[in-house]
Amino acid sequence: MEILRVAVVDADERYCGELCALLEQSHIPVAPWYSLEGLPEHLSREQVGVLIVNLDTLPVDNTFFRKLKKENPDLFILCLSSRTYHPDLQEAMGSHIYASLAKPFNPEELFYWLKTISET
């Protein structure tokens, strides 16, 4: 599996820390973010391949994801959510988000998607 650089954006610092620690234990370079502020600049400076976004803690919408993918077309976006349906993100789910993972996250599922992305 090719090593991907990952950024995790989650306003819940504890949950973000747990996810980042799991990725670091697997030798995956990861950068934690606790808000959307500064994220676009970070993505333009660093070679981030995967962005993991917690939909439960951040004010994101279709416009956010559309702009993010336009500025970073090679970025793979994974989302975490305790909800199974997001009618307000229908466009993003269909066009910009690679996969949505249930919370609490299942490490096996997360690593499956990271492996799939690295083989793409």
**In the predicted model, is pLDDT for residue 2 greater than 60?**
no
Fold of the CATH domain 8-118 = Rossmann fold (3.40.50)
Sign of CA dihedral 67, 71, 76, 82: negative
- Per residue in 88-98, pLDDT tens? 777 777 789 89
Neighbouring C-alpha atoms within 13 Å toward the C-beta of 113: 22
Confidence of residue 109 (pLDDT cuts 50, 70, 90): very high
Listed range (6-10, 23-27, 89-93) with the worst mean pLDDT: 89-93
Query: Is the model's pTM score more than 0.85?
Result: yes
